[in-house]
Each structure stands twice: as structure tokens, then as C-alpha cells.
């Protein structure tokens, strides 16, 4: 009793003019849980009470009347304000339910056309190179569930057949293994998806391992190079560590090729920087001349 009371406090799923089939399935389950679905499905009449009734008959009559009212109230609470204005004049829960069903699913001919279009869409699906197995199977199941919500049966075996034919070529190894070990006509959808996902995950793990190995090797090379530099004794020319004496910038025989000066290399040549300063000064003077001329034009 306590569980039933707590469940009744949950708000019913609300229909807001979209995804009627999903709402219908959820709301039917909700009404069944509250023991109100028979009042919608059967739409029984509650006749006036005759004379000389027993206490049990009076109680049963009252319960039926209350159940019909609760079912109607639940449907009213399960639609948006816009939908409510279209069904508020209807007298019973069954009338409300049938009106919404006809309005949003149409008659058998219209539903049949929708089903055919969805099946055609399903059969044209192919796995994209960027998709995972889960993403592709979710896309297929989304179409299949729409077909099922329209009241048409759709077996999982058809989904299995579609996936076997339309997955990417890289999954052929797993499919061949299944062909050699199992009867593909009896394999379940879950078993097929688990097999394909296992191959997918294994490949990702191998790729991650290769990346980690490359990073580790690169780190070792860098560490080895750094350690080699640190192992050099103090330079006889400058007193610093990290390089052999014959590579020291300050050795007496170091010669800058451009200025033909001994005692330093290009990286510390003062003449180079002095030349840059002179060049920059010439450029600035030329720019000032251009500006001066422009002011008088």
C-alpha cells in the first residue's frame, strides 16, 4: 500500500504535441501501475444503483466510478495546456485516448505508409567510417523502435542481418570468426554487438599502447641527451658545464665566417648586432623622410 501511494505521487508523463508513440507507451504503463488502464481500455458504464444492494455491491460500484474519474484526471494531467483545450469536452478516459491516437497516428492506411517509409529508411542505412559500433546500432534501433511503436513487429534477426551486411570492412575478421564458430541465423543481437565491440576496443587499446610506447621511447632519448650534456666536465675556456671545449663560443680559435674575426662565433658576434642597429637606423631615417614629404603633398 505504501509503495502504491508513493507511486501515485509521481507526475504522469506529459504529451506536448511531439513523440506521441513514446508518450502512449509510457502513459499506458503508468495507468496500469495505478490499476486504471481497464477504465480506459474497456470504458465500462457505471449504472445507477438498484435497490436492496449488499455492502460489497455498493463498494464495487463506488470503486468503478472512482477508477473512471481517476483515469480521466490522469489523462488530463498528462497533456500540455494546448492539448488539454482540445480534449477537455470529452466525457471519458477512453474517448480522450482514442481521440489522441487517431489524431497523431492516423488510421491503419496512414500508419502502414509510415511503417513502409521507416523500413525503407532502415534498409538504406550503412555504417559511416567515423561511427563506432554502438553509434551505428543505436541509429538502427532508433528507426526500428519507431516501427514497433506504430504497432508493427520487427524481429531482432532483421537487425542482425542488416549489421552483418552493412558494417565496415575492418570488422570482417570478427564476422568470419562468428561464421566459423556459430550459426549466424541464430545469433542474438547482443552477441553480435559484443563481438564487434570487443574487436573495436582491442584495436583502440593497441593504438593507445603504441602511442605510450613512442612517448616513453622519446622521453628516454631526451633524458639520455640531457644526461650526456650534464656529464661534460667544466669547460676550460668559460668554466661552464654542458658542452665540450671544442664547441665553446669563447675559445680563442673560434672564427665568425662573415666578419672573419677570431675569438667568438656568430651567436655572440657584436659586429652582427651593431650592423642590425645601423640598418634599423637607416630604415627609420627613410621612413621619416617619407612622412616629411607626405605632409607637404
Note the pLDDT tens digit of each residue in 238-267. Answer: 767 667 766 676 666 665 554 455 544 444
- Write the DSSP assignment of 73-95 as a string of letters: HHHHHTB-HHHHHHHTT--SHHH
Mean pLDDT of the chain: 78
Q: Is the dihedral of CA 14, 20, 21, 24 positive or negative?
A: positive
Question: Rounded to an integer, what distance in angstroms lies between the CA atom of residue 215 and that of residue 230?
Answer: 22
CB 100 within 8 A of CB 27: no
Q: Model pTM?
A: 0.55
Task: Report in angstroms the alpha-carbon separations of 67 from 8, 48, 77, 97, 224.
Answer: 13, 16, 15, 15, 82
CB 236 within 8 A of CB 247: no
Least Cα distance to 244 among 233, 254, 228, 253 occurs for 233
Question: Rounded to an integer, what distance in angstroms lies between the CA atom of residue 38 and that of residue 47?
Answer: 17
Of 200-204, 277-281, 288-292, the poorest mean pLDDT is in 288-292
Q: Which helix (H) or strand (E) holds 62?
A: helix 55-77
Amino acid at each position: 500500500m505504501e509503495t502504491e501511494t508513493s507511486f501515485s505521487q509521481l507526475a504522469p508523463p506529459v504529451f506536448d504535441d511531439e513523440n506521441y508513440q513514446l508518450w502512449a507507451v509510457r502513459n499506458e504503463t503508468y495507468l496500469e501501475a495505478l490499476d486504471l488502464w481497464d477504465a480506459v481500455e474497456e470504458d465500462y458504464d457505471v449504472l445507477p444503483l438498484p435497490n436492496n444492494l449488499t455492502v460489497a455491491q455498493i463498494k464495487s460500484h463506488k470503486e468503478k466510478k472512482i477508477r473512471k474519474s481517476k483515469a480521466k484526471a490522469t489523462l488530463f494531467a498528462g497533456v500540455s495546456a494546448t492539448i488539454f483545450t482540445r480534449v477537455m469536452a470529452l466525457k471519458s478516459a477512453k474517448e480522450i485516448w482514442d481521440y489522441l491516437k487517431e489524431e497523431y497516428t492516423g488510421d491503419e492506411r496512414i500508419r502502414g505508409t509510415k511503417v513502409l517509409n521507416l523500413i525503407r529508411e532502415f534498409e538504406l542505412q550503412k555504417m559511416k567510417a567515423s561511427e563506432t559500433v554502438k553509434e551505428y546500432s543505436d541509429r538502427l534501433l532508433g528507426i526500428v523502435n519507431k516501427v514497433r511503436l506504430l504497432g508493427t513487429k520487427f524481429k531482432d534477426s532483421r537487425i542482425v542481418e542488416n549489421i552483418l551486411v552493412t558494417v565496415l570492412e575492418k570488422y570482417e575478421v570478427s564476422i568470419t570468426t562468428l561464421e566459423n564458430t556459430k550459426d549466424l541465423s541464430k545469433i542474438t543481437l547482443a552477441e553480435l554487438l559484443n563481438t564487434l565491440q570487443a574487436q573495436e576496443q582491442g584495436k583502440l587499446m593497441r593504438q593507445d599502447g603504441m602511442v605510450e610506447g613512442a612517448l616513453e621511447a622519446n622521453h628516454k632519448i631526451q633524458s639520455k641527451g640531457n644526461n650526456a650534456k650534464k656529464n661534460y666536465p667544466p669547460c676550460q675556456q668559460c668554466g661552464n658545464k654542458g658542452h665540450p671545449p671544442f664547441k665553446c663560443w669563447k675559445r680563442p680559435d673560434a672564427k665568425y665566417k662573415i666578419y672573419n674575426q677570431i675569438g667568438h662565433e656568430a651567436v655572440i658576434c657584436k659586429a652582427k648586432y651593431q650592423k642590425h642597429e645601423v640598418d634599423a637606423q637607416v630604415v627609420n631615417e627613410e621612413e621619416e623622410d617619407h612622412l616629411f614629404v607626405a605632409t607637404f603633398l
